[in-house]
Structure 1
């Protein structure tokens, strides 16, 4: 997946006041994560399984 053409989705907890937020883009094999305030900045690309493990770990906090 080329991230240039990716469709990014902002987290549902985001607001128009510029709160800290992430955006996600995904396909069948990867998830890309970036800072919504810096869309041209660094991006993290991980497998969907890695993202699932990460999300589950956050839920258990």
Structure 2
């Protein structure tokens, strides 16, 4: 799997995230995966999930399963 470097991705926070610098994650969609990182540790590790797994995760969130 080709994982791009963090500076090559367009990162954004959820509209539900507050602007006070609290506990937030950022995501960056790619053609094959969704990258996830801690907004306070932008140069730190990141996770990459296949789009199908990310979609399933969001669906479960919407159903209150997570």
TM-score by length of 2: 0.80
Gaps of 5+ in 1: none
Give 2:10's match in structure 1, choosing from 7, 11, 17: 7
Aligned residue pairs total: 61
CA root-mean-square deviation? 1.3
Displaced runs of 4 or more, over 6 A? none
Q: CA-to-partner distance for each residue in 1:18-59, whole Å, 9 max, x for gaps? A: 121110111221100011111112211011111000111111
Q: CA-to-partner distance for each residue in 1:5-27, whole Å, 9 max, x for gaps? A: 11101111222211211101112
